[in-house]
Amino acid sequence: MTIHHHPPEDLLAAFAAGLLDLGQHVAIATHLVGCPRCRDTVRTMEHVGGALLTGLPPTAMSGDALAMIKARLDGIVPAVASPPRRATGLSDVPGLPKFVREYPAGPWKWIAPKVHMRPIELPEASETRVFLLKSRPGTKMIEHTHTGFEMSCVLSGSFVHAGGHFGPGDFDLGDGADDHEIMIDSADDCICLIAMQGDLKLNGMIGRLLQPLIRM
Residues in contact with Zn ion by CB under 5 A are 6, 35, 38
Least separation in angstroms between residue 213's CB and Zn ion is 35
Residue 110 and residue 105: Cα distance in Å, rounded? 15
Q: Which is nearer to Zn ion, 11 or 38 (CB)?
A: 38
Closest to 213 measured CA to CA, from 200, 204, 194, 196:
200
Q: Which amino acid is at 115?
A: V
Least separation in angstroms between residue 122's CB and Zn ion is 22
Q: Which is nearer to Zn ion, 105 or 171 (CB)?
A: 171
Q: Which is nearer to Zn ion, 38 or 182 (CB)?
A: 38
- Helix, strand, coil percent content, the chain, rounded in steps of 5: 30, 25, 45
Least separation in angstroms between residue 12's CB and Zn ion is 8
What is the secondary structure of 166-211 as a DSSP string?
E-TT-EEEE-TT--EEEEE-SSS-EEEEEEE-S-EEE-HHHHHHHG
Least separation in angstroms between residue 151's CB and Zn ion is 12
Q: Which is nearer to Zn ion, 24 or 145 (CB)?
A: 24
Closest to 19 measured CA to CA, from 27, 9, 11, 30:
11
Least separation in angstroms between residue 200's CB and Zn ion is 25
Q: Which is nearer to Zn ion, 163 or 204 (CB)?
A: 163
